Structure 1
């Protein structure tokens, strides 16, 4: 099933990708464990890229743009998720560099109206042999550029040389 088919509603920028919180994702207090928020965002991003034909089958040399590492991550917890069910990850790109990519995310209600957590992650595309930064492919850049927040896209602040 495509990301578009799974989408529950629209957002003014980026994509809203459905995620599921399971009972065993909750901690002893009955709240979504803090480590699960970024995990849900990661799974939503994987679903998004997979829906655009990108995948990883264990071969780093063949992984192409999927061969990337996290340089930085920040999560701000706004309010607790207290029950299992359907939610969404709102995903967007806030900076698209030559070798780096900063994406934003919100874990939110399925319709995107309530925010539970938000944050960003900085990814760096690396060469599988040297483990040094290497440029994103034109295809990945085109797809990522489609997720740029309007203010970044309009000012050109979303794309730079790094």
Structure 2
């Protein structure tokens, strides 16, 4: 499934994209809250859906700009997520370097109004033959201009 990213003027989101995600019963901990490890999975799945929807990474996500690794993942938990079903991940680019990219995110309600967790995720693009850092394509630079967070 490649969801179409949507901006959500109704929720006040005026930058980035809001990607639908689904929380399932088996992702909850014994207290019926989304297990802390599942937040990163939701964020990764949202980025993957968005990336492939933009024509990057190929079918397997391992070609071109899709061949990258996570350098850091930071998260702050704001509210417990206790509801099953449809939610969203709000994604945007914070900084794009020559070989790395830092993205901001919020795990939120489907309408983007309630934030359960937020943070940043930094990835480094690699050359698939040497595993050395390599430059992003012009397409990634274009995406960064489109979904980048406005600077104050």
User: TM-score scaled by structure 1?
Assistant: 0.85
Say if 2:118 is the partner of 1:118.
yes
Cα RMSD for the two superposed structures = 1.9
In structure 2, runs of 5+ residues without a counterpart are none
CA shift at 1:9, angstroms? 2.8
1: CA distance between counterparts of 2:34 and 2:24?
Answer: 9
1:100 partnered with 2:100:
yes
Are the aligned partners of 1:76 and 1:118 in contact in 2 as well (CA < 8 Å)? yes
Q: 1:125 to 1:90 in 2, by over 3 A?
A: same
> Which structure 1 residue ranges, 5 or more long, are not aligned?
153-162
Show CA shifts across 1:53-72 (max 9, x none).
Answer: 12345585xx1101111111
- Normalised to the residue count of structure 2, the TM-score between the two structures is 0.90
8 Å CA contact retained: 1:8, 1:111: no
Detail structure 1 runs of 4+ shifted over 6 Å in the superposition: none
Contact 2:21–2:86 (8 Å) recurs in 1:
yes
> Secondary structure of the equivalent of 1:55?
coil
- Taking the aligned partners of 1:39 and 1:115, their CA distance within structure 2 comes to 16
Residues 16 and 57 (structure 1), Cα distance of their counterparts in 2 relative to 1, 3 Å cut: closer
